Copies of this chain bind each other. A is one copy, B any other.
Amino acid sequence: MIRAISVAALTLLPISAAAQDLPTSAYLPLETGLTAAQAALVACAAEGHNVSVAIVGRDGVLKLHLKADNAGPHTVGSAQGKAFTAASMGRDTATIAQAIADNPQNAGMRDMDDRMVILAGGLPIRLGDALVGGIGVGGAPSGDIDATCARKGLDAISAQ
């Protein structure tokens, strides 16, 4: 039942990569991320809200997480999920949540990846032209407040 693979067809692609040709992408250093996360945490704490703040890189991997004392355990997943969603899609999670609310055919977006949380409180991190990750905040009384704190985090590092 084994079917011969057409070697000719599969080898037509040119062998081209040389190390010096490799493209590059910018990334967010941990220190910068920590500055943003602390600013977000402090902004929420100043309003009396115990939150988690997470920052992930463009490829969705966690860079750092800070959970305020007395923030509930669900804030860990909430903050990371919002950060992942914003980083991967390059959009504010509140906007995506609205797009689903406005058009239920989009609800399947919630199932695209187990790590996604489509809920206000996540913002993409753009420095200069580069999308370098996402920040997510969870645990304030509303997603809008979470988003305000996340915005304060981005301001602290002059991100858009």
Which residues from chain A sit less than 8 Å from chain B, CB to CB? 1-7, 9-20, 22-32, 34-35, 38-39, 41-42, 45-46, 48, 50, 57-70, 72-78, 81, 84-85, 87-90, 93-94, 97-98, 100-101, 103-120, 127-132, 138, 143, 156-159
Whether the pair B111, A5 counts as a contact (CB closer than 8 A) is no
A69 to B130 CA separation, bound complex (whole angstroms): 14
| Chain B, residue nearest A32 (CB) | B17
Q: Known: A59-B73, A66-B30. Is A46-B7 also a contact (CB below 8 A)?
A: yes
Whether the pair B70, A88 counts as a contact (CB closer than 8 A) is no
Of A70, A103, A118, most buried by chain B (CB within 10 Å of CB) is A70
Whether the pair B29, A26 counts as a contact (CB closer than 8 A) is no
A78 to B13 CA separation, bound complex (whole angstroms): 25
